[in-house]
Amino acid sequence: MTHHDIETIFRDEAGRALATLIRLVGDFDLAEDALQDAVAVALERWPAVGIPAHPRAWLVNVGRNKAVDRVRRNIAFRGKRDALAQELLLHAPEPGDDDAGALHDDVLRLIFTCCHPSFAAEVQVALTLRTICGLTIAQVARAFLVSEDAMAQRLVRGKDKIRLAGIPYEVPDRDALAPRLDGVLAVIYLVFTEGYAATSGEDLMRPDLAREAIRLARLIDALMPGRGEIKGLLALMLLHDSRRAGRETAGGDIVLLEEQDRSLWDRAQISEGLRLVEEALRMPGRPQSYAVQAAIAALHAQALSYDDTDWRQIAGLYEVLLRISPSPVIELNHAAAVSMVDGPARALDLVDALQVRGGLKGYELLPAVRADLLRRLGRHDAAREAYLQATAATQLEPLRRFYARRIAEMTAR
Partner 1 sequence: MQYLLLVYRSEAEMGQMEPAARKQMAAEYGEFTQSIIKSGHFKSGDGLQPSSTATTVRVRDGKTLTTDGPFAETREQLGGYYLVEAKDLDAALGIAARIPGAKAGSIEVRPIMVYD
The residue ranges that bind partner 1 (CB under 8 A) are 79, 81, 116, 118, 164-168, 172, 176
Query: What is the C-alpha separation between 162 and 26, in angstroms, rounded?
Result: 12
Using the minimum distance from each CB to partner 1, give the nearer residue, 138 or 165: 165
Using the minimum distance from each CB to partner 1, give the nearer residue, 118 or 249: 118
The least CB distance from residue 120 to partner 1, in Å, is: 15
The least CB distance from residue 80 to partner 1, in Å, is: 9
Residue 200's φ and ψ, nearest 5 degrees, are -155, 175
The least CB distance from residue 123 to partner 1, in Å, is: 14
Query: Concatenated DSSP letters for 118-153?
Result: TS-HHHHHHHIIIIIS---HHHHHHHTT--HHHHHH
Using the minimum distance from each CB to partner 1, give the nearer residue, 116 or 154: 116
Q: How many CB atoms lie within 10 A of CB 61?
A: 19
Nearest to 283 by CA among 272, 292, 271: 292
Q: In residues, how long is the chain? A: 413
Query: CA dist 157 to 36, 119, 154, 161, Å?
Result: 20, 10, 5, 6
Using the minimum distance from each CB to partner 1, give the nearer residue, 10 or 169: 169
Using the minimum distance from each CB to partner 1, give the nearer residue, 79 or 226: 79
The least CB distance from residue 229 to partner 1, in Å, is: 21
The least CB distance from residue 81 to partner 1, in Å, is: 6
The least CB distance from residue 89 to partner 1, in Å, is: 18
Query: What is the C-alpha separation between 407 and 38, in angstroms, rounded?
Result: 56
Using the minimum distance from each CB to partner 1, give the nearer residue, 167 or 354: 167
Four-CA torsion 268, 272, 273, 275, nearest 10 degrees = 140
* Cα Rg of the chain, angstroms: 24
The least CB distance from residue 112 to partner 1, in Å, is: 10
- Determine contact, residues 273/291, Cβ cutoff 8 Å: no
The least CB distance from residue 66 to partner 1, in Å, is: 24
The least CB distance from residue 76 to partner 1, in Å, is: 16
The least CB distance from residue 213 to partner 1, in Å, is: 26
Using the minimum distance from each CB to partner 1, give the nearer residue, 176 or 329: 176
CA triple 388-392-396, angle to 5 deg: 115
Which residues are bridge partners to 395 per DSSP? 200
Using the minimum distance from each CB to partner 1, give the nearer residue, 149 or 170: 170
Q: How many CB atoms lie within 10 A of CB 21?
A: 28
Which residues are bridge partners to 200 per DSSP? 395
The least CB distance from residue 77 to partner 1, in Å, is: 12
3-class DSSP state for residue 66?
helix
Using the minimum distance from each CB to partner 1, give the nearer residue, 103 or 167: 167
Query: What is the C-alpha separation between 189 and 306, in angstroms, rounded?
Result: 26
Query: What is the C-alpha separation between 301 and 316, in angstroms, rounded?
Result: 17
Measure CA 145 to chain center: 16
Using the minimum distance from each CB to partner 1, give the nearer residue, 56 or 159: 159
Query: What is the C-alpha separation between 307 and 59, in angstroms, rounded?
Result: 54
Query: What is the C-alpha separation between 130 and 180, in angstroms, rounded?
Result: 20
Using the minimum distance from each CB to partner 1, give the nearer residue, 116 or 243: 116
Nearest to 294 by CA among 310, 312, 271, 276: 276
